Amino acid sequence: MFGNTIPKPRDANALRMLWTYQIKQCGTYKSRMVCDGNPRHKESITLGHVYANALDATSERLFWAIAAKEGMIAIGFNISNAFVEAPPPKVSLYLYIDDAYKQWWTEYLQLNPILDDCNVVQVKYAIQGHPESARLWEKHIDGILTDHKMLLIMHEPCLYSGIDHSRVLFLHQVDDFALDCKMTGPTETLIDAINQKMCIPVKHLGLITRFNGVDIHQTHYYIKITCQTYLTKMLTEHNWLDTITPNTPVPLTSDNAYTSDH
């Protein structure tokens, strides 16, 4: 991701490092270093094309509807670090070195301490937080799919269709992939083609039970989509699961009972 530590070049695009911390739904603690690409900063940054498609609700419904109608199964895959697979921003980008980076440099990499006059590192790939990164990743994965004769469905962003002995549907939300197929052979072939263009192998997640924040129940007879996991988490965080609900609803203000009850 990064080049060597160097003094900041004159008039270079430089942003601050930003550390994010998260507790995943499975309980795993996760930290990640990104760049702070917020435009409010006084330091200028030169940008290229930043627009990227996002998964549309219609595309996702169509994906699951076709899978149910044609008796397909949906398999999930994930990219460990999608942006590191994509090329760097249009104009060379540098990040200011912070204390956490210096600690990682000496304690994890076991290298000599960074010199005082070396205050930046060059970013060699797309990095999360930079406005161009989503677009760079989308162009990268679109090129791979197009080379494998997968066609983007018109008016449906992030949904592709292809035929290799049997129909294959490919849906992606940034780095989360879902593939529909009646047989696993074409699915594995497509993932192998993607893997050949990746630095880190694609993670095989097996039969999809959850995608894009919703629960997916795939059965022999139907596919059911629910939000049970999300709703349970939300209610638990607000301590609403143990709330005692009244046996009868509160009457409307226009009802005579409303006046007597209040």
Question: Is a pLDDT exceeding 80 seen at residue 143?
Answer: yes
In the chain, % of residues over pLDDT 90: 3
pLDDT for res 194: 84
User: pTM, whole model, 2 decimals?
Assistant: 0.74
Question: Beta-carbon neighbour count of residue 134 at 10 Å?
Answer: 20
Q: How confident is the model over 201-211, as pLDDT tens digits?
A: 888 888 899 98
Question: Is a pLDDT exceeding 70 seen at residue 125?
Answer: yes
Question: Is a pLDDT exceeding 80 seen at residue 249?
Answer: no
pLDDT for res 37: 77
Mean pLDDT of 94-101: 90
93-96 and 13-23 beta bridge pairing = parallel
214 or 248: whose pLDDT is higher?
214
pLDDT for res 168: 85
Query: Which residue ranges make up each domain of the chain?
Result: 2-38+48-232
Alpha carbon distance 134, 127 (integer Å):
9
106 neighbors 113 (Cβ within 8 angstroms): yes
Mean pLDDT of 61-80: 88
Q: What are phi and psi of 252, to 5 degrees?
A: -70, 155
Residue 13, CA distances (Å) to 37, 42, 81, 182 in order:
11, 12, 23, 49
249 or 118: whose pLDDT is higher?
118
Look up residue 138 and give its DSSP letter.
H
Mean pLDDT of 158-184: 81
pLDDT for res 213: 85
Q: How confident is the model over 32-66, as pLDDT tens digits?
A: 888 887 766 555 566 667 788 888 888 888 889 98
Q: What is the side-by-side strand order in the sheet with 29-35?
A: 2-6, 120-123, 93-96, 13-23, 29-35
pLDDT for res 15: 86
Q: Please, where are the H alpha helices in 89-171?
A: 99-103, 133-147
**Three-point CA angle 102, 106, 107, nearest 5°:** 110
Mean pLDDT of 25-29: 79
Look up residue 6 and give its DSSP letter.
E
Spatial CA neighbour of 95 closest among 1, 22, 31: 1
**Does residue 69 sit in helix, strand or coil?**
helix
